[in-house]
Amino acid sequence: MNSSTLRQLWSLIEETQNSTLLKFGDAELVQQLLGQLQNKTLLSGEEVSTMNSYLNSKISLIRDLAQAGLV
């Protein structure tokens, strides 16, 4: 996973409405974000797997940021 892909991912998260980030379960949210990222950039199978693990490890942070954005 390179820094450009990470920047794209976090830009995508910032662009996604907070209510959308909060309405999905963890697995659904990861798949949703991963699907949107794959629409923007070509990822290898290994990159998809790595990004999936990364997103799962950041779910709490993503939800905290979304929650803070609703206030």
Which range marks the domain in which residue 63 is found?
Answer: 3-70
Q: Is the pLDDT assigned to residue 71 strictly greater than 70?
A: no
What was the pLDDT predicted at 36?
95
- Sign of the Cα torsion 42, 45, 46, 50 reads positive
Contact (Cβ atoms closer than 8 angstroms) between residue 22 and residue 65: no
Number of structural domains (the chain) is 1
What is the pTM (predicted TM-score) of this model?
Answer: 0.88
Q: Which residues contact 30 (CB under 8 A, 6 or more apart)?
A: 52, 55, 56, 59
pLDDT in tens, 22-50: 999 999 999 999 999 999 999 999 999 99
What was the pLDDT predicted at 58?
97
Closest listed residue to residue 66, CA positions, set 5, 30, 23: 23
